[in-house]
Amino acid sequence: MPPVVPPFLIGLIAAPLAKRLLKPLMRGVVKTSVGIALEVRKATLEAGENIHDLAAEVAAEMVAAQVAVGDVEVRSGDGRQAAESSTPKSEKDEVAARTDAEARAPKIRATAAAAKAR
């Protein structure tokens, strides 16, 4: 009858060997997975930028088409005026004087400031 080796002894011998073999393998798997995830994220961000660029181009074309139609109506002599021409000159100057940063800056509400003071 062959000698009986308890399974825990096999585990004690095999565990260090498995650790030496599996640790580099698992490290490579994790490193590759993280690299793939970063590449997918980069590709997704680029696709999102392309979609935003496309949307901005379409919006610009639509505005240009509306302005062109508005110019035709004003030049046609029907007595119609474009909505832009009915705006007082002082308001146009005020809007033009604002910088992009001022125009895009969020307005702070008085109620929010009062709530923080409490």
Letter for the amino acid at 40?
A: V
Maximum mean pLDDT: which of 54-58, 87-91, 95-99, 104-108: 54-58
Range of the domain at 60: 7-76+88-117
* Residue 50, domain member (yes or no): yes
Whether the pTM exceeds 0.85: the reply is: no
How confident is residue 100, by pLDDT bands cut at 50, 70 and 90?
very low
Residue with the two structure tokens 């935003």: 52
The domain tally of the chain equals 1
* Residue 82, domain member (yes or no): no
Do residues 42 and 53 lie in contact, with contact meaning Cβ atoms separated by under 8 Å?
no
Helix, strand or coil for residue 108?
coil
* Residue 81, domain member (yes or no): no
Q: Look at residue 90 in the predicted model and tell me its pLDDT.
A: 57
* Residue 111, domain member (yes or no): yes
Structure tokens at 11: 């585990």
* Residue 2, domain member (yes or no): no
Spatial separation of the C-alpha atoms in residues 7 and 12, rounded to whole Å: 9
Helix, strand or coil for residue 80?
coil
5: which DSSP letter? -
Chain mean pLDDT for the chain = 75
- Entry field: residues in the chain: 118
Do residues 70 and 82 lie in contact, with contact meaning Cβ atoms separated by under 8 Å?
yes
